[in-house]
Amino acid sequence: MIKKILLFILCLLPWFLNNIIPVDYNYYNTIIKPFFAPPRLFYPIAWTIVYILISITTYNIITSQKWKDIPKNYKITLFINYLFNQSYTIVFFGLKNNFLGFISCLGTFLSTLFLYEDTSLLNNKISKLLYPYILLSLFATILSLSIYILNI
């Protein structure tokens, strides 16, 4: 039981690594935002839920078969998705670059679609847990593009 809990924590923790990077979160208050921009409190709640769901799917894939039997496509897609997802905090808040923030969101959204596809090939039932991630990353992409355009 402890091994399972530790493995799940190992699947979950990397998604929160970008929170240890010192960035200026007040930057979000200084930019022009579209009318549909949610309050700042929305983001930590929504992304925490999504990170837990991603971790559940990853945990289920890892525990359902041996690591070497998990297709390389899944591993690569998960890694690319992770990199795009984690890059947003650095480029948007750290570098204060709205365009790169949009590119990061777009990369996250597109790689989330591929992650969903690769996950559904391995476990169609568990892949449905990625629906909120798809929707949130699509929303983030639209919001990020709007922020970029409004602040040119």
Task: Say yes or no to pLDDT of 1 above 90.
Answer: no
DSSP one-letter string for 81-141: HHHHHHHHIIIIIIS--HHHHHHHHHHHHHHHHHHHHHHHHH-HHHHGGGHHHHHHHHHHH
State the pLDDT at residue 40: 85
State the pTM of this model: 0.94
Tokens describing residue 147: 């922020």
Looking at residue 135, what is its pLDDT?
A: 98
| Residues 31-74 pLDDT 10s | 999 999 999 889 999 999 999 999 999 999 999 999 999 999 99
Binned at pLDDT 50, 70 and 90, residue 7 comes out as very high
pLDDT of res. 22: 80
Picking from 91, 102, 109, the residue whose alpha carbon sits closest to that of residue 18 is 91
The amino acid occupying position 130 is: L
- Kindly report, residue by residue over 8-20, the tens digit of the pLDDT: 999 999 999 888 8
CATH for 90: 1.20.1260
CA–CA dist 102, 141 (Å, integer): 6
Q: Exposure string (b/e) for 39-48, b if CB count within 10 Å is 16 or more?
A: eeeeeeebbe
pLDDT of residue 147: 98
> Per the structure, how many domains does the chain have?
1
| pLDDT tens digits for range 79-124 | 999 999 999 999 999 999 999 999 999 999 999 999 999 999 999 9
Evaluate whether 77 touches 114 at the Cβ level (below 8 Å).
yes
Tell me how far the alpha carbon of residue 74 is from its chain's centroid.
15
Q: Where residue 23 falls among pLDDT bands split at 50, 70, 90?
A: confident
Range of the domain at 34: 2-150
Cα separation of 79 and 81, whole Å? 5
